[in-house]
């Protein structure tokens, strides 16, 4: 489920086991990011907030960094930010990182970035209007915002147990695409592309994806999370980023034809996320 990661995000750091769901998600997100990088040629990227609802925090833009893009990110939790810095150091990549308690202000000069991004993170900002105003102020280029697909059959299950009292840091109304588009237009930004993303053969439900997709990518038996998971048993993109698992992307992309060929009306109810691309 999505909501509990707010309380157990630390569990991904001792052994970076993200499972099949997040591993596939990262590869298809990389495809999108690199396509936009090739189109717009941006060189200075900002991710804020960096904490969303997927596995190991703060590594969404690693592929851009490896392509030579200067990456900055912000997080609202000091402990998590320290772990994110450690992860980037482990990868041997430069990172500019800052603590931002509520994202109502972004402490950068006007037009400091030519690309800004967040993935399932916009509902963690304190004030959506102020956040988007600031994001547009500091970004002289493309802005990519990804949100959970609220029409997806698994979305309500992902929010099971949510209440404003129990999770005051989360504002589900902020992931409404119409609100985001309206606020972006008020800042002079034009929506130039939108689509569904992360549409694997399994629905967005709280279950072991390895069991659901057993055999689909030729890995044989499923990899189940054990109470004391060993590093060699983990399924993670980290070895791929380190150059230790060069076939990782191709294994995940064996599932991609399902997403590539599925019609949009089907993705409306099956895809896990949506993305919106804005330019000036």
With CA atoms as reference, report the closest residue to 122 among 152, 150, 94: 150
Rounded CA gap, 13 and 234, in Å? 12
Q: What percent of the chain has pLDDT over 90?
A: 74
Using omega within 30 degrees of 0 as the cis cutoff, is the peptide bond preceding 49 cis?
yes
Q: What is the DSSP annotation of the chain?
A: --TTHHHHGGGGTTS---HHHHHHHHHHHHHHHHHHHHHH---EEEESS---SSSSTT-TTHHHHHTT-EEEEEES-HHHHHHHHHHHHHHT---EEEE-SSSS---S-TT-EEEEEEES-GGGSS-HHHHHHHHHHHEEEEEEEEEE-TTSTTHHHHTTT--TTT-TT--GGGG-HHHHHHHHHHTT-EEEEEEEE---SS-SSSS-HHHHTTTTTS--S-----TT--GGG---SHHHHTTS-TTHHHHHHTTHHHHHHS-HHHHHHH-SEEEEEEE-
Q: What are phi and psi of 141, to 5 degrees?
A: 170, -150
Rounded CA gap, 4 and 161, in Å? 9
Which of residues 231 and 143 earns the better pLDDT score?
A: 143
With CA atoms as reference, report the closest residue to 20 among 44, 57, 54: 54
Rounded CA gap, 29 and 111, in Å? 25
User: Does residue 120 fall inside a structural domain?
Assistant: yes
What six digits make up the tokens of 67? 């392509």
Note the pTM of the prediction, 2 decimals: 0.91
pLDDT in tens, 233-242: 679 999 999 9
Q: Which residues contact 66 (CB under 8 A, 6 or more apart)?
A: 93, 241
User: Does residue 144 fall inside a structural domain?
Assistant: yes
Rounded CA gap, 115 and 113, in Å? 6
Q: How confident is the model over 226-249, as a mean pLDDT?
A: 82
User: Does residue 226 fall inside a structural domain?
Assistant: yes
User: Does residue 94 fall inside a structural domain?
Assistant: yes
User: Does residue 76 fall inside a structural domain?
Assistant: yes
User: Does residue 10 fall inside a structural domain?
Assistant: no
Q: What CATH code is carried by the domain that includes residue 236?
A: 3.40.50.150
User: Does residue 8 fall inside a structural domain?
Assistant: no
User: Does residue 63 fall inside a structural domain?
Assistant: yes
Rounded CA gap, 69 and 38, in Å? 12
Residue 32 has pLDDT above 70, yes or no: yes
- Please give the tally of structural domains in the chain: 1
Identify the domain containing residue 170 by its residue range: 16-279
pLDDT in tens, 122-143: 999 999 999 999 999 999 999 9
pLDDT in tens, 84-127: 999 999 999 999 999 999 999 999 999 999 999 999 999 999 99
């Amino acid at each position: 489920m999505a909501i509990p990661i707010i309380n157990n995000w630390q569990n991904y750091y001792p052994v970076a086991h993200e499972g099949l769901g997040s591993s596939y998600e990262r590869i298809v997100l990389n495809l999108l990011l690199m396509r936009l990088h090739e189109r717009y040629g941006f060189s200075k990227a900002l991710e804020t907030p960096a904490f969303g609802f997927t596995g190991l925090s703060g590594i969404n833009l690693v592929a851009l960094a490896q392509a030579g893009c200067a990456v900055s990110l912000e997080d609202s939790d000091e402990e998590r930010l320290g772990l994110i810095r450690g992860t980037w150091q482990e990868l041997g990549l430069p990172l500019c990182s800052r603590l931002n308690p509520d994202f109502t202000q972004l402490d950068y000069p006007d037009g400091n970035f030519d690309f800004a991004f967040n993935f399932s993170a916009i509902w963690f900002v304190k004030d959506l209007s102020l956040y988007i105003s600031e994001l547009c102020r500091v970004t002289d280029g493309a802005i990519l915002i990804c949100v959970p697909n609220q029409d997806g059959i698994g979305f309500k299950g992902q929010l099971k147990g949510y209440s404003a009292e129990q999770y005051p840091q989360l504002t589900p109304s902020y992931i409404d695409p119409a609100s985001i588009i309206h606020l972006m237009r008020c800042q002079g930004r034009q929506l130039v592309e939108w689509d569904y993303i992360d549409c694997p053969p399994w629905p967005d439900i709280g279950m072991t994806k390895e069991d659901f997709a057993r055999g689909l990518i030729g890995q044989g038996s499923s990899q189940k999370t054990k109470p004391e998971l060993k590093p060699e048993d983990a399924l993670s993109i980290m070895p791929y980023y380190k150059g230790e698992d060069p076939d990782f992307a191709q294994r995940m992309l064996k599932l991609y034809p399902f997403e590539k060929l599925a019609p949009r009306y089907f993705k409306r109810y099956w895809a896990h996320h949506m993305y919106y691309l804005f330019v000036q």
